Amino acid sequence: MSQDEKPQIYLISPPEFDLMEFPEQLARVLDSQEIACVRLALATHDEDRLCRAADMLREVSEPRDVALVIERHILLAERLGLDGVHLEDGSRSVRKARKALGNDAIVGAFCGTSRHDGMSAGEAGSDYVCFGPSSETALVDGTVAPFELFEWWSQMIEVPVVAEGGLDIETIAKLSPVTDFFGIGEEIWRAEDPVAALAKLTAAF
């Protein structure tokens, strides 16, 4: 990424949300800033609930010309005609997803803190690679994707990179020159006013 280019926002849904309330909340956030992509990241495996959530989010994202991808579910991405899939198992399913969804679909891979896994995902045809968490969060075992990983990646590899997990103003300011996207989710949905919370974070871009 060239120095004068700012990172873009990659919005991640909460792992659980109210199907009636969240789409409205999402619409407000999408209208407040330019968002590159939305990831439906529900923790449930209930297919019916996933399908309804995807349909409701697409009603918000499509008119605003924002891509919508779903976490893990390659078959649902295909069946529901979503823009693509976000894979959680590093490079393992990238080829399979690409084959199922075709060349125009977005296929992204979360690779934790593994440079090797990221490179394998890129070689397999991933459109972007996610590293994280970007700072220590209560939910993880203390492994953090270090600044050096993003710095090396942005200098050596052309596949866009996403920083996600445990983002705060300090981490964002530090990683801004070396990442293409920030995967922002719980950081804003936990706040009383997600629009204001996002504005605070993006001010550090």
For range 158-176, the mean pLDDT: 96
User: Residue 10 above 90 pLDDT?
Assistant: yes
For range 148-157, the mean pLDDT: 97
H/E element, 202: helix 194-202
Instruction: Read off the tokens for 184.
Output: 């922002």
Is residue 186 assigned to a domain? yes
Q: What integer best gives the mean pLDDT of the chain?
A: 94
Could you tell me the pTM of the whole model?
0.95
Look up the domain containing 196 and give its range. Answer: 8-202
Q: Which residue has the higher pLDDT, 142 or 170?
A: 170
* Weakest-pLDDT range from 38-52, 105-119, 135-149: 135-149
Q: How far is CA 115 from the centre of its chain?
A: 18
Is residue 106 assigned to a domain? yes
Question: Which CATH number belongs to the domain containing residue 87 in this structure?
Answer: 3.20.20.70
Domain count, the chain: 1
Dihedral (CA of 19, 202, 30, 38) sign: negative
Per-residue confidence at 139, pLDDT binned at 50, 70, 90? low
For range 192-198, the mean pLDDT: 98
User: Residue 162 above 50 pLDDT?
Assistant: yes
Per-residue confidence at 142, pLDDT binned at 50, 70, 90? confident
Residue (of 44, 50, 68, 70) closest to 58 by Cα position: 68
Is residue 1 assigned to a domain? no
Query: So what's the pLDDT on residue 1?
Result: 39
Is residue 94 assigned to a domain? yes
Is residue 3 assigned to a domain? no
Is residue 193 assigned to a domain? yes
For range 6-34, the mean pLDDT: 97
Q: Which residue has the higher pLDDT, 142 or 71?
A: 71
Residue-wise DSSP of 17-84: --TTTHHHHHHHHHHHS-EEEEEE------HHHHHHHHHHHHHHHTTTT-EEEEES-HHHHHHTT-SE
SS3 14: coil
Is residue 2 assigned to a domain? no
For range 27-44, the mean pLDDT: 98
For range 52-78, the mean pLDDT: 97
Is residue 145 assigned to a domain? yes
pLDDT tens digit sequence for 111-138: 999 999 999 999 999 999 999 999 876 5
